[in-house]
């Protein structure tokens, strides 16, 4: 592995005008990272990666490198680009094992993070570096959000996220409150009441978009976001149709194959796949088929009725009458994007949203309510992980500036209450027995 990494590093031309860095949404200083590695300064290279991108171990595995750093590499014009993804993965995963530094000195202020996905984790880590007492709230039992529950294990192992939970959260003193849905028993108003000076909303997109066709509620049908969260829970048989051809659809198709499906096909309205070439090429390699230029009309117990599609002058894609056919299958996965859920907003006054349910924010993540910030999927819709990190870095600085402008919090309730004596649990148990 190390030999292969160094071979890639030695291919880097060290351009004075690094197009690779320009192609990276968070402008990772790729030439300098590679220079440090080649000079034997792996720890310095690792520190630079993590300072710029707290999720570098994740991005090394799931970024769309072909359209970003590697897609802009000068070498890629005439030959294969320098595969920085391999270099970044090696450096970040190796250096991560040495990250044992404890929390920064507390500045006496508290910040709440709603959602343990890419945006929430990024902001939590950055604020913790400034000394804020950070608590992350998430409706799931582990951190990661879409990273853990929307990306298959074979692309992003849970071990990477578990290590992040230890290195970045536990060691840095960041608290994680799992299985807590903000907008139900606990609201944003409660967070402000309890001393949090600012709140970040990064709840993600967990509401599947419907096809609105007959048969969508049948027992052998599911949505991509639900399937990817727990594929082993579904029994969809050996012949599966995935409706959609985005990256999420590719993940579903490849996951289905790994869970026993023998025949998997993805359906698309047009002849253009919306997934990246990288993801679709892996799907094709693993035997996934494609049914293109088809409209989905109905889902039945024994299959899906599709019809040829055509594009109208106004851009609408409509079915061609008389071309309907039944495509047999044992299971159907609908992968046509997700939307925002509204409970969090409807239980909080003063937060504006657009029609789709996404939060209205300015370029620094301020919502219409003072002290409440948002970024990531909750504000901009579905984006890549690295784009979420890039936006969240800017929002974290805005939250820092906002909280520094506020007076220091003062606790006034019951200031002189004496400390009660501790009662040993074992002694209590003996009395009960």
Over residues 45-57, the pLDDT tens digits come to: 999 999 999 999 9
- pLDDT at position 58 is 96
The structure tokens 């294990």 sit at: 153
Cα separation of 24 and 9, whole Å? 17
Per-residue pLDDT, averaged over 228-239, amounts to 96
Backbone angles phi and psi of 127, in degrees to 5: -65, -35
| 12 pLDDT more than 90 | yes
| 352 pLDDT more than 90 | no
- pLDDT at position 185 is 87
Question: Could you give all domains of the chain from N- to C-terminal order, each with its CATH number?
Answer: 2-96 (1.10.1060.10), 110-206+339-404 (3.50.50.60), 210-336 (3.50.50.60)
- Per DSSP, the three-state class of 250 is helix
Record the tokens describing residue 395, joined without a space: 């929002």
- pLDDT at position 372 is 94
Cα separation of 352 and 346, whole Å? 10
Higher pLDDT, 236 or 341: 236
- pLDDT at position 1 is 53
Per-residue pLDDT, averaged over 286-310, amounts to 97
| 63 pLDDT more than 60 | yes
Higher pLDDT, 428 or 90: 90
- pLDDT at position 93 is 93
Strand order in the sheet with 239-243: 221-223, 331-334, 239-243, 263-267, 289-291
Cα separation of 328 and 198, whole Å? 53
Cα separation of 28 and 390, whole Å? 11
| 416 pLDDT more than 90 | no
- pLDDT at position 226 is 94
Backbone angles phi and psi of 135, in degrees to 5: -125, 130
Cα separation of 363 and 328, whole Å? 48
Q: Roughly what angle, to the nearest 10 degrees, separates helices 247-258 and 277-285?
A: 20
- pLDDT at position 419 is 80
Cα separation of 293 and 317, whole Å? 9
**Band (361; pLDDT cuts 50, 70, 90):** confident
How high does pLDDT run on average in the chain?
A: 91
| 423 pLDDT more than 90 | no
Higher pLDDT, 2 or 346: 346
| 381 pLDDT more than 60 | yes
| 262 pLDDT more than 60 | yes
| 268 pLDDT more than 60 | yes
Percent of the residues in the chain that have a pLDDT greater than 90, as a whole number = 75
- pLDDT at position 424 is 67
- Per DSSP, the three-state class of 294 is strand
- pLDDT at position 200 is 95
CB burial of residue 383 (10 Å; 0-12, 13-18, 19+)? middle
| 334 pLDDT more than 90 | yes
Closest Cα to residue 26, out of 111, 132, 106, 122? 122
């Amino acid at each position: 592995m190390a030999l292969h990494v160094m071979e890639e590093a030695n291919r880097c031309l060290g351009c004075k005008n690094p197009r690779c860095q320009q192609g990276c949404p968070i402008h990772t200083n790729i030439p300098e990272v590679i220079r440090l590695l080649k000079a034997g300064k792996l720890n310095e290279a690792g520190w630079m990666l993590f300072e710029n991108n707290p999720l570098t171990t994740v991005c090394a595995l799931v970024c769309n490198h072909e359209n970003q750093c590697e897609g802009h590499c000068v070498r890629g014009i005439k030959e294969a680009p320098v595969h920085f993804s391999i270099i970044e993965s090696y450096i970040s995963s190796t250096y991560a094992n040495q990250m044992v530094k404890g929390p920064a000195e507390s500045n006496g202020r508290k910040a709440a993070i709603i959602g343990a996905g890419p945006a929430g984790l990024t902001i939590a880590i950055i604020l913790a570096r400034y000394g804020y007492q950070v608590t992350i709230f998430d409706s799931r039992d582990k951190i990661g959000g879409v990273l853990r529950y929307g990306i298959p294990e074979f692309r992003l192992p849970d071990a990477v996220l578990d290590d992040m939970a230890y290195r970045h959260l536990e060691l840095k003193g960041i608290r994680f409150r799992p299985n807590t849905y903000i907008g139900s028993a606990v609201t944003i108003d409660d967070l402000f009441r309890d001393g949090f000076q600012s709140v970040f909303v990064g709840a993600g997109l967990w509401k599947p978009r419907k096809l609105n066709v007959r048969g969508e509620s049948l027992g052998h049908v599911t949505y991509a976001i639900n399937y990817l969260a727990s594929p082993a829970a579904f029994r969809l048989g050996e012949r599966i149709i995935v409706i959609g051809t985005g990256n999420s659809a590719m993940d579903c198709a490849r996951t289905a194959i790994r869970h026993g499906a023998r025949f998997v096909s993805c359906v698309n309205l047009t002849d253009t796949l919306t997934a990246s070439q990288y993801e679709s090429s892996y799907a094709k390699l693993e035997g996934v088929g494609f049914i293109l230029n088809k409209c989905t009309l109905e889902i039945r117990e024994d299959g899906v009725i599709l019809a040829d599609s055509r594009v109208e002058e106004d851009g609408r894609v409509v079915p061609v009458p008389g071309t309907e056919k039944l495509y047999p299958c044992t299971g159907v996965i609908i992968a046509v994007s997700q939307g925002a859920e509204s409970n969090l907003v409807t239980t909080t006054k003063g937060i504006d949203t657009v029609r789709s349910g996404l939060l209205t924010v300015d370029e620094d993540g301020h919502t219409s309510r003072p002290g409440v910030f948002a970024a990531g999927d909750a504000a901009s819709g579905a984006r890549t992980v690295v784009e979420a990190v890039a936006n969240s870095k800017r929002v974290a600085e805005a939250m820092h500036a906002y909280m520094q402008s506020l007076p220091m919090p003062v606790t006034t309730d019951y200031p002189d209450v004496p400390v009660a004596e501790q009662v040993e649990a074992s002694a209590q148990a003996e009395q009960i027995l």
